[in-house]
Structure 1
């Protein structure tokens, strides 16, 4: 199953790069009308592409958030005379629906604070709000963090990482995440930042005491947003 997922991700990533390359080549060759170029060649389209890649990986909720935000801004470019921004509360309605139908720990974070969870797999979504959670897991495997016009503060310093390690998928759009991990965890960050940043603020000096067998990998994208990593 894992090999099939990896193959699907490779195919999706390759197709996205090919499509993006062909589209940019056509634009640079003058074969794309200016109004189409203005509408579809911009940062909102990057959100759609990243959403497609996340969907191919099985990260459905982050993909939906990316599709919604990217599509919202593309629509505003398609109809410049129409004030599409007056309908931004639709995003709130979608967030509310997802909140009602979300599972425990997986709903839209509406300014919830101090929640304690013992889940091994994290599914944290913050839209127009914020989450503050303490994770107390005996075998933390990772999960998903999605921040859209919102933020999440996650404290993992009371958790034990799974023997095989853990992977966190992060999507931060006009929002951010603060993650606190135990001092002995090895953390690898593979976050792509577009008008954003992900900062590792754990160590001012040496990283003495870090266990190479306790590996947390943080992957994802920050767009007009960011993230910070701290140690306890």
Structure 2
């Protein structure tokens, strides 16, 4: 049975991030081997990562904030330094902006949950230096915000149902892990931005593939991971 990969799946933040890393690797190889002088092109590599961060913001409909903002800030500062408009010492003093972005992400997730939390259609979980396990049994599950910082967060959706597809989950894993348990038959689109982290759908492959997306998982993983299991 042949498997068709749709263009939409090839435009995930994960795919684009990996593609940019490959391009950077090729440019570095050309430069170090002396095959082609591409030093001038390497100066603009940070702009590629800024574009990925902006794309991730758009793809998540501004739900995934902290990851893309961190990437945009770091890559933007790197670009400014690379072009000689500022020194490392001048840009490093703005590092608290990353902390602010993380706090805004947490507050935004709580606000969304309070506004739309009807019949448990929306779930929010935050774990720091510990673990949080939640189970959603709503027959009209809509969305969730899951954050794990030096800890773990688990959301069990095996007894939930989706009324309006696709449902959406924003997952942030910083030095921790986010585990999402879903029914095996759900079609999950994973669009997590990994920076020294990972994201994977660990469910066994199914013989019948549902073309309609049931759940979209966006977010950010740094020194941690986001996993989908059944």
Superposition TM-score tier, normalisation by shorter sequence = 0.5 to 0.7
The alignment's TM-score, normalised by the length of structure 2, stands at: 0.58
Deviations 1:40-74 (A, max 9, x none): 58xx86x459x38x95xxx553689xxxxxxxxxx
Task: Give 2:177's aligned residue.
Answer: 176
Name the structure 1 match of 2:165. 164
Higher RCO, 1 vs 2 (CA within 8 Å, ≥6 residues apart): 2
Would you say the 8 A contact 1:191–1:198 is kept in 2? yes
Unaligned stretches of 5+ in structure 2?
Answer: 1-56
Match of 1:28 in 2: 82
- Cα distance in 1 between the residues matched to 2:178 and 2:72: 32
Say what the alpha-carbon RMSD is for the aligned residues: 3.9
SS in 2 for 1:161: coil
| Secondary structure class of the residue paired with 2:89 | helix
Q: Within 5 Å, which residues of 2 pair with 1:7-86?
A: 9=62, 23-37=77-91, 47=98, 51=101, 55=104, 59-61=105-107
Q: CA deviation at 1:190?
A: 0.5
Of the structure 1 ranges 18-27 and 194-203, higher mean CA displacement relative to structure 2 is found in 18-27
2:210 aligned partner:
211
Question: How far is the alpha carbon of 1:131 from its aligned partner?
Answer: 1.1
Structure 1 residue ranges without an equivalent (≥5): 65-101, 107-117
Provide the rounded CA distance (Å) in 1 between the counterparts of 2:76 and 2:195. Answer: 22
Secondary structure of 2:78's aligned partner: helix
1:70 matched residue in structure 2:
none
Distance, in Å, in 1 between the alignment partners of 2:72 and 2:213 is: 36
Query: How far does residue 22 in structure 1 lie from its aligned partner after superposition?
Result: 5.8
Return the TM-score normalized by structure 1: 0.57
Give the Cα separation in 1 of the matches to 2:185 and 2:228.
Answer: 14
Contact 1:185 1:210 in 2 (8 A): no
Question: May I ask how many residue pairs the two structures share in their alignment?
Answer: 165
Per the TM alignment, residue 228 of structure 1 is displaced from its structure 2 partner at its CA by 1.4
CA contact (8 A) 1:183 1:209 kept: no
Contact 1:163 1:214 in 2 (8 A): no
Q: 1:148 to 1:230 in 2, by over 3 A?
A: same
Moved more, 174-183 or 19-28: 19-28
